[in-house]
Each structure stands twice: as C-alpha cells, then as structure tokens.
Amino acid sequence: MPNPTAIEQLEAALTAVDEIATADADRLTQLRTELLGRKAGVVTKVLRSLQGLPAAERRSVGARANEIKTAIEAALDQREAALTAAVDQARERDRSMPGRPSWRGAVHPITAVVDEICDIFRELGFTRVVGPEAETEAYNFTKLNIALDHPAADMQDTFYLSPGIVLRAHTSPMQARTLERFKPPVRIVVPGQVYRRDAWDPSHAPVFEQIEGLVVDEGVSFVDFKAAIDFFVRRFFGEDTKTRFRPSFFPFTEPSAEVDAQCHICRGAGCSTCKYTGYLEIMGAGMVHPAVLDNCGIDSELYTGYAFGMGPHRIAMLRYGIPDIRLLFENDMRFLNQFLE
C-alpha cells in the first residue's frame, strides 16, 4: 500500500514553485526554510518519513520525492539568481552615487581680487610692477611730498626698522621709484603688502594688501582720471554701478579725491554694508602733485598724471561678504575651500 499522505504532501509542496517564481527576497528565504529546512521543512520531513517504508515502496515513492525536491530547489535557486542579478544591475545603473574627487587648490581670495583689479587696469594699458616692503623715509614720505614735520605724516602710523628705514605704509613709494627709472608715458599698477601700526580688529590688520596706480604723461587730466576710475568700477562691480568722487586730502595728490562705488548689495538704496549711505569707499586718489614729479626729476609743467590706492582686503571683504579681516590671515582650510574656482 503506497503512502498516499506522503506523496500528496509532496505534490502539494510542488505547487509552491509558482509562488517561488515571483517571491521577493524575504519570502524566498522563508519558502526555502518552510520547504527544505533541515528540521521542519515539509519536503525534508516527507523524505525522512520514507525511511520507515518497505524497500520496494520506498524506491517508487522515493524517486518521485527526489524529483519534486530537485524541482523545488531549482526553482528556489533560479529565483535567487534572478533577484541577485537585479541588485547588481541596480548597482551598476545607480548614477546617483558620488564620483571620485581629487584635491583641487584655490588661490587666496586676496590674490584673486588683486589679479582681477590688475587685469581690469591692463585693459587700460597699465603694466604691473612691484617694489620693496621695507623702504627709506625718503621714498615713504619726503619724495611723496609728505613732510615729517606736518600732521599729514600722521595719516598712517608707521613701523620703523632703524633710523630712516620703515616698513612702507603704502605702495606709493613705487610712484617715486618708477618715475626715477622710467620716462613718461608711465601707466602702472603696483600690488603689494603694506604695514601700519593698527591693532587687530574685525576691520584692521597691521599688514594688508594695497594696489597703487600711477599714470604720468603729457596732457593727462582730471577727466582722464575720472574716466579710468569709472571704467574700473563698472568692470569690477557691474556696468551700471555709479561712482562718486569727493574732495579729500593726500599730500601726494592735488586735487585729491575719495572714490565711492555705489553699494553693490543695495544698489544705492542703503543697507548695513554701506552703513545706509548707498556708497562704499573704495580708494583714495587724485592728480599727481607737481611736487612729486619735481622730486623725481620730471617737468611738472609739461607732465601731469593721476594716482590711486586701494585696499584689496577691504574690497574682498565687501565682495565676498567676509565679516572679519582676520579670516583672511588664518588659512583655515574650511575657509579657503570656499574660494575654489
């Protein structure tokens, strides 16, 4: 007498193949345990129960039982392979995974601003020169018409290295150095570090960058001066930016001017950056004082010119919204990372 229960159970188990074909990963694991689990798997248990049957019967039932077991196993393996392939395919096709980066370096924001400014003036024919950071009193003061016995000498508090030798308080000494070496037409910009006895605070540092500009030739006028500065401001801050010139005083320029650019944040309406004036002070400038030309052996009756000086630290702070000048000296990687091109 065959054992109808065992065969029936196995045939019933075989119907699970349909479910296996569509099972997800969790259900597949579950089905494998339910059917083929070593202790409680349905197929396993039936196969184990065959041990008690007479040999002939065991052979006929056993053959069918193994057939069914193999079919179930194959279905399980096939489904598993299909599921794994789908995962692999998803991995390959996941274009949202991050790409492989490499380190990139940035020039310092001050360098970027200096280069941009010098490049704009290059459009107007200015060449770029540099000079020493330690200067003589003659170049830092007297050749520039700054008398040490006049209060104008106090406009910058200067570091002394030894008698007669200072750390330059401005890049203006290069006006005299250049005019002594080269005949007009002179059109130069001079970037470089300058030093002043200012205590550290959010807007002051004892060392900072300056850019000097100088033009000397026959027939250079206040109109040429205004035009060049206006050109620069529009290139740097935007074509519709207004420039304002106010009277000022520097011993080495006459007439002298303080130059304001319309605030690039509020467009002149007034905001906290421009202290509600609508304008930002960006440079001191003016027509080269004839005394400076005379001091450098240039005929001040024949030649005229203009000069200007601006502070890239201040301009960088305005442009990038940097609230504290000290950030520009700390070299914090997290800060410098922000200036990657």
265 counts as binding Zn ion under rule CB under 5 A: yes
Closest separation between CB of residue 265 and Zn ion, Å? 5
| Residue 329: exposure state from Cβ atoms within 10 A (0-12, 13-18, ≥19) | middle
Q: Which is nearer to another protein, 62 or 329 (CB)?
A: 329
Q: Where are the alpha helices (DSSP H) in 163-321?
A: 173-181, 222-237, 290-295, 312-320
Distance between CA atoms of residues 127 and 143, nearest Å? 22
80 counts as binding another protein under rule CB under 8 A: no
| Residue 295: exposure state from Cβ atoms within 10 A (0-12, 13-18, ≥19) | buried
319 counts as binding another protein under rule CB under 8 A: no
**Site residues (CB under 8 A) for another protein, limited to 123-162:** 124-130, 132-136, 149-152, 154-155, 159-162
| Count, residues near Zn ion per rule CB under 5 A | 6
Closest separation between CB of residue 88 and another protein, Å? 16
266 counts as binding Zn ion under rule CB under 5 A: yes
Closest separation between CB of residue 25 and another protein, Å? 23
Distance between CA atoms of residues 211 and 228, nearest Å? 15
Q: Which is nearer to another protein, 9 or 243 (CB)?
A: 243
Closest alpha carbon to 314 in 158, 202, 191? 202
Partner touching 271 among Zn ion, another protein, none, CB below 5 to 8 Å by kind: Zn ion
Phi/psi of residue 8, nearest 5 degrees: -60, -40
Quick one: which of 54, 101, 297, 321 contacts another protein (CB under 8 A)? 101
184 counts as binding another protein under rule CB under 8 A: yes
Closest separation between CB of residue 136 and another protein, Å? 7
Neighbours of 320 (CB within 10 A): 15
105 counts as binding another protein under rule CB under 8 A: yes
Chain-centre distance for alpha carbon 321: 13
Closest separation between CB of residue 281 and another protein, Å? 9
164 counts as binding another protein under rule CB under 8 A: yes
Neighbours of 338 (CB within 10 A): 11
Phi/psi of residue 218, nearest 5 degrees: -70, 135
Closest alpha carbon to 255 in 230, 216, 290, 212? 290
| Count, residues near another protein per rule CB under 8 A | 95
For residues 175 and 252, the answer to whether their CB atoms sit within 8 Å is: yes
33 counts as binding another protein under rule CB under 8 A: no
Closest separation between CB of residue 84 and another protein, Å? 20
User: Which DSSP string corresponds to 28-81?
Assistant: HHHHHHHHH-TTT-HHHHHHHHGGGS-HHHHHHHHHHHHHHHHHHHHHHHHHHH
**Site residues (CB under 8 A) for another protein, limited to 206-265:** 206-207, 215, 217, 219-224, 226-228, 230-231, 243-249, 254-258
Residue nearest to Zn ion (CB): 263
Q: Six-digit token pair at 204? A: 């002051």
Partner touching 142 among Zn ion, another protein, none, CB below 5 to 8 Å by kind: none
**Site residues (CB under 5 A) for Zn ion, limited to 136-175:** none
Q: Which is nearer to Zn ion, 234 or 326 (CB)?
A: 234
274 counts as binding Zn ion under rule CB under 5 A: yes
Binding site for Zn ion (CB under 5 A): 263, 265-266, 271, 273-274
